[in-house]
Amino acid sequence: MPDMTYRDALNLALKEELRHDPSVVIWGEDVALYEGSFKVTRGLLAEFGEERVKDTPISENTIVGVAVGAAMGGLRPIAELMTVNFALLAMDQIVNHMAKVSSMFGGQTHLPMVIRAPGGGGSQLAAQHSQSLESYFMHCPGLYVAVPATPADAKGLLKSSIRDNNPVMFLEHELLYNSKGEVSDDPEFLVPLGKAQVKREGTDVTIVAYSRMTILALQAAAELEKEGISCEVVDLRTLSPLDTETFVASVKKTGRAVVVEECWHTAGLGGHIASLIYEGCFDLLQSPVQRVSGLDVPMPYSRKIEKLCIPQPESIVAAVRETMSGKY
């Protein structure tokens, strides 16, 4: 399998699906002539033309609303938002229409559409452009939420999202675009929605993470191995559907858990995952579940202070040490 960047894996997935199904279309701000703010749509206009790859006005509510109508009409639209922060301008369409149309029509219509949205912190873009809003969408019934951590999962999950008949929020971390890994060049390579993956086997503690936090969790696990601590790393891959079975089974094996999320601690999805671990593993837990989260502050512009607000490998290491030393 060839090595490629996360960005190129997404680009390959888009090309393959546009070739695979003529009902797939892409639109958003600067996706055509400029080839995307992060160059994920590079080369698509040249190959597929402006009928299928189209630049839109700067109006997120309109971009999503038109995609909802197009999906109801038989197309499979992929709407790119320049960043997930701008999804807030389209929340009426996302929450009241995209998530609910199929249910409100009694299942007589499906909504096969994807919203691609970069996000996350660490790029020194300050408070309005560095947010991790995945818990907003996970909280809304009717939406699927995909959060790939690796190039292979980025390709496979995007292809599965495009082919699925449910609306999918596909969230890409901006700091992952240049990351590299092996990616299958098989046009039928798919990663199933709703299936987590054990990225690293371990025996002492389970680290549950997703998106960029999975990469940091693997770095922390490698560091902890030097201390004789064996970490199992579970990558959620999708937040909705949430594969509870995989991470609960892992915690039953290790007896300890650390949940890592970049979003804010208060009402963050880590609390929900921790509660599921307690419900499924209470009698087997050897110490309390630890949470590592983003700080409850608007993201500062200063690079040094920004770093303090986002989980780092060393903060995951500290949480694992804490759970290893803690007892009930």
What does DSSP assign to residue 164? S
Q: Which residues are catalytic?
A: 60, 129
For residues 325 and 327, give the distance between their C-alpha atoms in angstroms, rounded to a whole number: 7
Q: Is 154 helix (H, G, I), strand (E, B) or coil?
A: helix
Q: Coil, strand, or helix at residue 299?
A: coil
Cβ neighbours for 129, distance < 8 A, ≥ 6 positions apart: 83, 85, 123
* Tokens, residue 318: 């500290």
From CA 55, how far away is CA 31, in angstroms rounded? 6
Q: What is the DSSP string of 107-133?
A: TSS----EEEEEE-S-SS--GGG----
Quote the tokens at residue 103: 């249910």
Nearest to 322 by CA among 224, 232, 233, 225: 224
CA distance 175 to 129: 13
Residues 281 and 166: beta-carbon distance below 8 Å: no
Helix (H) or strand (E) holding 236: none
Q: Which distant-in-sequence residues (6+ apart) come within 8 Å of 138 by Cβ? A: 145, 239, 240, 242, 269, 272
Distances (CA, A) of 321 to 76, 207, 254, 324: 47, 12, 14, 5
